[in-house]
Structure 1
Amino acid sequence: MSIKAEEISALIKQQLESYQDGLDVSETGTVTYIGDGVARADGLNNALEGELLQFEDDKGTYGMAQNLESNDVGIVILGDFTQITEGTKVKRTGRIMEVPVGDELIGRVVNPLGQAIDGGTEIHTTKTRPIEHKAPGVMDRQSVDEPLQTGIKAIDALVPIGRGQRELIIGDRKTGKTSLAVDTIINQKGQDVICIYVAIGQKDSTVRAQVDTLQQYGAMDYTIVVSAGPSEPAPLLYIAPYAGAAMGEEFMMNGKAVLIVYDDLSKQADAYRELSLILRRPPGREAYPGDIFYTHSRLLERAAKLSDKLGGGSMTALPIIETKAGDVSAYIPTNVISITDGQIFLDADSFYAGIRPAIDAGTSVSRVGGDAQIKAMKKVAGTLRLDIAAYKELESFAQFGSDLDAATQARLNRGARTIEVLKQGLHELLSVQQEVVILYALTQGHLDKFPVEDVLRYEHELFAFMDASYKQVGDQIAETGNLPSDSSLDDMLNEFDKKFVPTKDSKAEEDAIDSADAAE
């Protein structure tokens, strides 16, 4: 039996007559499985990936569609899921996941949904942004050329960060990763930079301590803290960095500079792995889903320096990754290293040896480099990395030989003072002109004549002397971005060297006595 063309045409016309163009947001489904922050529901045949869904429980809980399968939809639940049971109705909203954005969030601690969790008043904003947003394209960006000063000598000199850059902070547990990020936020005071600190899986007491520190230094006046604690469901830990990025993008699109810290993406990856396994997605390497790289790349690519046509705003990202026993070749660390524009590697051995911040100059790198430094810093920091590398090599060699020639001894002495100069106490931040002055004193040999133990005291007293007698030197470096064209900087250092009183070097005296006894 053959089907006539007229019959096919009539059938198509009949189907077209009943077709409705538009989303039926009242479409509902029924929960068939619930557990561990994930639900499955059937009946949502037209749901979209990433769409916001609402459960008809007592709290009106929301979820986000993740898995679109032939017979049901996998939903991650955003919030408390204890009220949801099998048979609970769930309906489409026709909207994708959004968070509130705007100035109203500044100074507050919020959860990944933008709700206040600091005990303050409820936050009312007029704008929202989707948590997932396409990163700016190549033509929407411009090159990174404006420094983001951290106030930390070792970073600003060796691994400079520019506005719009993505610089990874990586290291073992308890090596000072969060401290670096918090100090960088504190140093943005008066720099017209909006800061966002996203705490993923951090203990509530730890987040409270960081907030107290930021308040103590007046940094909460320009900072938003987004916190998803370990007691929160895995979906909230997963979306927390995306929510923070959306909040930052609002300021970036309005021409402002933004600094966002993700602390840390290792815990976000673990949360996403948990979700994916419960959603029955195929596990890959180390049981992570196949799109774990995309999870981080689409987040970090949103950091950018926008073109002047789009307002010239910027969002600088400092993601943090925790390593196990310093293994940077593990899966998640290598993923994030390949996405970012450089990494600051914190060495546990250096940290426990008292070298803090424990930045490993050999492994750390900035792929923006000198473009993110003022000219004065470029001049004084140019040879630092080589000096440190040569010192490390000579130090291990010198352990096996007692008689060293004068040139080798001089390089060892300079290297020891370089390591000492780069030490810095917690929250003891420096202005860029102070960093330039002490590094200039180091490279010009002013510190070589004083004991290593006196280096940090020399630094503190030098800054006090500069503020009292040679303030114009620092002002000139800050205003022009270059070293003074006259001899004022050298004059200041020569004058201070005469005033500085070194600590009595008892060890040197003992060595001299031992040498004299041996000669007799």
Structure 2
Amino acid sequence: MILLSITSPYSVTSFSLLLLIISPYLVTSFSLLLTSDRLILIYIIYYLSSIYYGLLKRGVRIALRSKVNDSLITGLRIVDSILPVGRGQRQLILGDRYTGKTSIYLSLLLHCNYLSLLGSIEGLGTKRVFGIYIGINQNPSKLGKLISFIWVINWYSLILSSHSSSSSLPSYTLPLIGISIAERLRDRGFDTIICFDDSSKHSKSYRQISLILSKIPSRDASPSDIPNIHASILERCGKLKLCYFNGSITALPIIETIANDITEYIATNIISITDRQSYTNKKLFLDSCRPSIDSALSVSRIGSNAQCKSIKIISVGSKNELTNYRITELSSNSFDFFKLLSLNQIFFQDHLYISSINLICILIILYRNGIFFNKVIKIQTLLFLFSSDYLYFYYIILLIKSSYSLVTYYLLLTIYLSLLIYYLIYVI
């Protein structure tokens, strides 16, 4: 069973997708009907194979690629400050079940909706960001919640997913279809974010196909060319040069680990392919750290090259400081314990609560100057105050674009400024 939900007018023809999915059934039915006329059957098999091998293209050569030095703001303070993501980067998200792996992608998608709204305003130079979600053998209840959420917040999205009881063939071909659609968007100059949820189930589907085809199994009964399959998908991501419209594909493969074991066969293969990994720790998740990203095991191989200059200067040494405080056993009366509490409060973000880039700078500057946050109330007050630019762009600009009335604009702007003055005088 294939769930194909297209929420964007920019999409590939659904006929070729459905033809690819039901190709084995078509070949079987035509072989029963056209056993006498073998020429027509050969043409049908050739057409279906051309569609399949069109999905197995090689990535763009290095001469056409650009450096990954353009930052992609995710809306998560711990990611934007100490683990930056660039446009065209391949970021692995791995962790145990129910530790908030998919919510990292959803937060990124929510912030990209904000960037897409800015890109739709005339005169601003930001580009629209498209999101593609590839679900492999996903639970229907999880898919229903995810589709209803993306339907509300983001209309520049494509969801391709297979049911948990579907066959291994569509589960294997879905990432190939998704990366081909992302390349179509990239060649037209758009920035695309694609999420593979999850790659371990994709490897299991390929293992079933390989065992049916009598391939020799290797470690964990997987075929020996499974790193080739994942590398051929992830190597097609990247960023093109400016003369080739400067489009990019940012990949976020997700891997579910078992009992915090990141030395698994599939996990280590994709770690060696990707540019960075974010590890969600089960212990941090149970200790109410949101997002539960472990700064000790999360590494970025691009580093601060894809980071905003202001945050790059301010957040120097924050990753090592947070890691040292978390791995050492601190007493409750020590000074370092209060600094750890303050850092946890700064980087705390609940599910789907995005943050602006100016709030990250202000919070880190206040921490560097010795102002510690031991209460959540102060953080929430600053969140409302310095995230008001989202309120401005979401409501004021959108209403003006729909009504084109200066009276409505000045009225909403007066309410907006009065709220800011009220919070500055009476709350802070």
Find out whether 1:365 has 2:295 as its counterpart.
no
SS at match of 1:398: coil
Find out whether 1:431 has 2:364 as its counterpart.
no
Distance 1:98 1:425 in 2: 46
What do the CA deviations read for 1:348-370 (whole angstroms, capped 9, x no partner)? 11111111111000000111111
Q: Which amino acid aligns with 2:170?
A: L
RMSD: 3.0
Aligned pairs, number: 362
Find out whether 1:374 has 2:294 as its counterpart.
no
Distance 2:58 2:242 in 1: 19
Contact 2:23 2:48 in 1 (8 A): no
TM-score, with length taken from structure 2? 0.78
Alignment equivalent of 1:158, drawn from 67, 82, 85: 82
- Label 1:371 to 1:419 Cα distance change in 2 as closer, same or farther (>3 A): same
Stretch deviating more after TM superposition (235-244 or 80-89) = 80-89
Alignment equivalent of 1:203, drawn from 139, 150, 167: 139
Contact 2:355 2:387 in 1 (8 A): no
CA deviation after TM superposition for structure 1 residue 339, in Å: 0.3
SS at match of 1:319: strand
Larger % of helix: which?
Answer: 2
Distance 1:79 1:195 in 2: 31
Distance 1:98 1:254 in 2: 23
1:17-416 equivalent positions in 2, closer than 5 A = 78=24, 89=35, 91-93=42-44, 94-95=46-47, 130-191=54-115, 192-216=128-152, 218-219=153-154, 221-394=155-328, 396-398=329-331, 409-416=334-341
TM-score, with length taken from structure 1? 0.64
Q: Which amino acid aligns with 2:368?
A: T
- Label 1:424 to 1:291 Cα distance change in 2 as closer, same or farther (>3 A): same
Contact 1:151 1:187 in 2 (8 A): yes
- Label 1:393 to 1:238 Cα distance change in 2 as closer, same or farther (>3 A): closer
CA deviation after TM superposition for structure 1 residue 275, in Å: 0.4
SS at match of 2:170: helix
Unaligned runs of 5+ in 1: 1-60, 65-75, 100-112, 114-128, 472-495, 502-520
Contact 2:60 2:236 in 1 (8 A): yes
Q: Larger Cα Rg: Structure 1 or Structure 2?
A: 1
CA deviation after TM superposition for structure 1 residue 299, in Å: 0.2
SS at match of 1:188: helix
Contact 1:153 1:422 in 2 (8 A): yes
2:370 alignment partner in structure 1: 445
SS at match of 2:72: coil
Contact 2:93 2:277 in 1 (8 A): yes
- Label 1:279 to 1:228 Cα distance change in 2 as closer, same or farther (>3 A): same
SS at match of 1:189: helix
- Label 1:431 to 1:97 Cα distance change in 2 as closer, same or farther (>3 A): farther
Q: Which amino acid aligns with 1:208?
A: G
Distance 1:97 1:182 in 2: 35
Larger % of strand: which?
Answer: 1
Contact 1:79 1:232 in 2 (8 A): no
Distance 1:82 1:247 in 2: 28
SS at match of 1:210: helix
- Label 1:80 to 1:161 Cα distance change in 2 as closer, same or farther (>3 A): farther
CA deviation after TM superposition for structure 1 residue 376, in Å: 1.3
Distance 1:181 1:137 in 2: 28
Higher RCO (Cα < 8 Å, 6 or more apart): 2
What do the CA deviations read for 1:485-518 (whole angstroms, capped 9, x no partner)? xxxxxxxxxxx999768xxxxxxxxxxxxxxxxx
- Label 1:239 to 1:167 Cα distance change in 2 as closer, same or farther (>3 A): same
What do the CA deviations read for 1:234-264 (whole angstroms, capped 9, x no partner)? 1100010110000010010111111111111
Contact 2:359 2:387 in 1 (8 A): no
Distance 2:31 2:387 in 1: 67
1:126 alignment partner in structure 2: none
What do the CA deviations read for 1:98-140 (whole angstroms, capped 9, x no partner)? 77xxxxxxxxxxxxx9xxxxxxxxxxxxxxx932111011111
Contact 2:322 2:340 in 1 (8 A): yes
CA deviation after TM superposition for structure 1 residue 309, in Å: 2.4
